[in-house]
Amino acid sequence: MILETAWLLPCYGLLGAGLTLPWSLRIVRQTGPRPAVYLNMLMTFLALVHSCWLLTSVWGAPAQQFEFTWFHSLDLTIGCSLEISTISAGASVLIATMSLISQVYGLGSLETDWAIARFCALIGFFEAAITGIAFSDSLFFSYALLEMLTLSTYLLVGFWYAQPLVVTAARDAFWTKRVGDLFLLMAVVALANLTDSLNFSDLKVWANAPETIAYFADHQQFGTLLGLALIAGPLGKCAQFPLHLWLDEAMEGPNPASILRNSVVVGAGAYVLIKFQPVLSLFPVASEVSVILGAITAIGASLVAIAQIDMKRALSHSTSAYLGLVFIAVGMQQSELALGILLSHGLSKSLLFLSSGAVMMTTVTQDLTEMGGIKTRMPATLVAFIVGSLGLVALVPFGGFWTMLRWEETFWNSQPWLVAIALLVNSITAFGLMRLFALVFLGVPQPKTRRTPEVGWQVALPLVSLTIITLLVPILLPSWEFVDIDLDTVDIWGTAVLAASGLLGFGLGAYIYAKPYESGSSVSMPPLVTRRAWKAVQDLLAYDLYVQAIYKYTVVLIVGGGAKVLTWVDRYLVDGSVNFVGFASIFSGESLKYTITGRLQQYVLTIVVGLILIGFAAFYGLK
């Protein structure tokens, strides 16, 4: 019976968003916006209880599919298919948990903002779309839900729409995602013409059929284009190169939304990509492109993150880097490994955004050059940041270590260069986190951090709760069968190499950033950044490898130049021709009206003269 109620889980978020509308639209003003927040939190809590109940009911059981007709007209029938499994139910628990944490945190950080009711409504909309993706077994509905995520991202990034920079960031995030969505729509239409069902479970059977394999063996170019179109949608949702710039600009939105966006929202796009994996296995070129783009993003975003002076942007680039590892895992047909990375990274990164948000809320800045010296003033935030950093980097016994250890065991013999990429990303990430730690918590207090207090209970409660959950990840990973943690069979050399890569990053970061601060130096930035020899490298990384400038002088220039040419052709050739015909008609009509006299003799003379002229023209024409 509980399995048949799984379709209600996405409805909690929608209902919560609907209940907040009287306050969001300011129909109700006397009570203030807090009742809207409480109603939305209540619906999210009910979703969490329902998800936990469902998870206990399906634990260890095989996946089950339920389908009901959503639309039927003549020969067209569109069904909505749900897959109920341990993974989907667990994902629903994670989504509800993160949504509830974001709302409680938002109550503390946005309590003086009247638009907090609108914020909760958008969070409910977010929650409904992501939960629907977790359970959806239909490619058609998954695409529709991904479009809901795109719209939600636009609305949440543009939450403070009175600021011009926020409006620009929301617009760029929306259109960047739309590029990937357009290609994904083409792939959905193509698959609809090739198969009888768009359900992921049916597509898996279809992809393994001999006739399907033979068909794409004869149509390799078409198969390659189809595979590239399939990964284009998740490419934009997960902020992967070359559609990665939106996640950086999306940090203009409220920080509680960034907690969801950098954990479960970007994970939703990767989750759909994982469901595509059986179909992508038909197209080797698409799988190779997924691996290559993931590798480029993983290394490039990790390097870009260490040069940012904006705290949120530094963490957001790190998100792109770890999602790049997920793309590599999917391209190498390692779906369980990809899910493990999503879980461990999502919880750790959420905790880092929570702690960084607490710092930004009390210091009223997110500029790293204006921070420092708050390690004794915000102890709970300090512990949360340390736990989140250790959980993200591969250090024993935290969750990130076990997923990276499985990565190493999977690719060491077959693809050792992938192990090198993971070690490099792990080391650079550790370096970047130590840099943030030193710039924020160590050193001499700055003007904005001298009287920094610890956060209130609305922020401290989710902060402590998520810290405990992050510490429990090593227990959750083997329980959900993502990794097999057996201390008797642990690879000692792999453990040592992973630990060494993380310690190397932490040690180098401590030497460059923490040592000057602990020695009593009052400089706001460490020596490495201010040295002229590193200025070019610093600018290269700080400006995202100049990717935005490259787009401006290539894609934007070509598209803009083409648009200007088409505008000129439309204005002066097409419109000019039409306007000339119209003007000629008007001129001839105005001229002929003066020849109307009402005299029959004149009309007969005109006809005779015309016939004579036509006769002469025909006579000389025949000659």
237 vs 113 pLDDT, higher one: 237
> What is the mean predicted confidence (pLDDT) over 242-263?
81
Residues 195 and 131 in one domain: no
Of 87, 115, 137, the one marking the end of a domain is: 137
* 424 pLDDT above the threshold of 90: yes
168-172, 502-506, 516-520, 550-554: range with highest mean pLDDT: 502-506
Helix (H) or strand (E) holding 260: helix 255-260
Contact 179/242 with Cβ under 8 angstroms? no
Please give the residue range of the domain that contains residue 41.
1-137
Question: DSSP secondary-structure letter at 82?
Answer: E
Of 498, 529, 553, the one marking the end of a domain is: 553
Residue 558, pLDDT score: 86
Of 553, 578, 600, the one marking the end of a domain is: 553
Residues 537 and 607 in one domain: no
Distance between CA atoms of residues 526 and 438, nearest Å = 10
Q: Would you state the torsion angle of the CA atoms of residues 213, 216, 217, 219, taken in this order, to the nearest 10 degrees?
A: 160
Residue 76, pLDDT score: 66
Residue 326, pLDDT score: 92
Residues 82 and 193 in one domain: no
Rg (CA), the chain: 30
Residue 529, pLDDT score: 47
Contact 378/452 with Cβ under 8 angstroms? yes
> Of 4-18, 298-312, 364-378, 531-545, which range is least confident?
531-545
> Of 210-224, 316-330, 372-386, 530-544, which range is least confident?
530-544
Q: Cα–Cα–Cα angle for 238, 239, 243, nearest 5°?
A: 125
Residues 584 and 488 in one domain: no
> Of 1-5, 582-586, 589-593, 610-614, which range is least confident?
589-593
For residue range 116-152, what is the model confidence (pLDDT) as tens digits? 888 888 888 888 989 989 888 888 888 888 888 888 8
Residues 276 and 308 in one domain: yes
Residues 591 and 536 in one domain: no
Residues 45 and 163 in one domain: no
> What is the mean predicted confidence (pLDDT) over 168-182?
85
* Count of structural domains, the chain: 3
Residues 372 and 470 in one domain: yes
Distance between CA atoms of residues 135 and 602, nearest Å = 86
For residue range 478-492, what is the model confidence (pLDDT) as tens digits? 776 666 666 666 677
Distance between CA atoms of residues 596 and 603, nearest Å = 9
Residue 56, pLDDT score: 87
For residue range 300-356, what is the model confidence (pLDDT) as tens digits? 989 998 888 888 888 888 889 999 999 999 988 888 888 888 888 888 999 999 888
Phi, psi of 71 (to 5 degrees): -150, 135
Contact 309/269 with Cβ under 8 angstroms? no
* 37 pLDDT above the threshold of 50: yes
* 530 pLDDT above the threshold of 60: no
Residue 484, pLDDT score: 63
> What is the mean predicted confidence (pLDDT) over 62-70?
78
- Token couple for 281: 């296995």
For residue range 558-604, what is the model confidence (pLDDT) as tens digits? 888 888 888 888 888 888 888 888 877 787 776 766 666 667 777 77
Residues 534 and 587 in one domain: no
Residue 474, pLDDT score: 82
Sign of CA dihedral 264, 268, 273, 278: positive
* 526 pLDDT above the threshold of 50: no
* 516 pLDDT above the threshold of 80: no
Phi, psi of 444 (to 5 degrees): -85, 135
Residues 560 and 549 in one domain: no
Residues 232 and 369 in one domain: yes
* 182 pLDDT above the threshold of 80: yes
| Banded model confidence at residue 299, pLDDT cuts 50, 70, 90 | very high
> Of 87-91, 136-140, 257-261, 357-361, which range is least confident?
257-261
Distance between CA atoms of residues 270 and 235, nearest Å = 8
Contact 434/505 with Cβ under 8 angstroms? yes
For residue range 384-400, what is the model confidence (pLDDT) as tens digits? 999 999 989 988 888 88
Residues 129 and 146 in one domain: no
pLDDT-above-70 percentage for the chain: 91
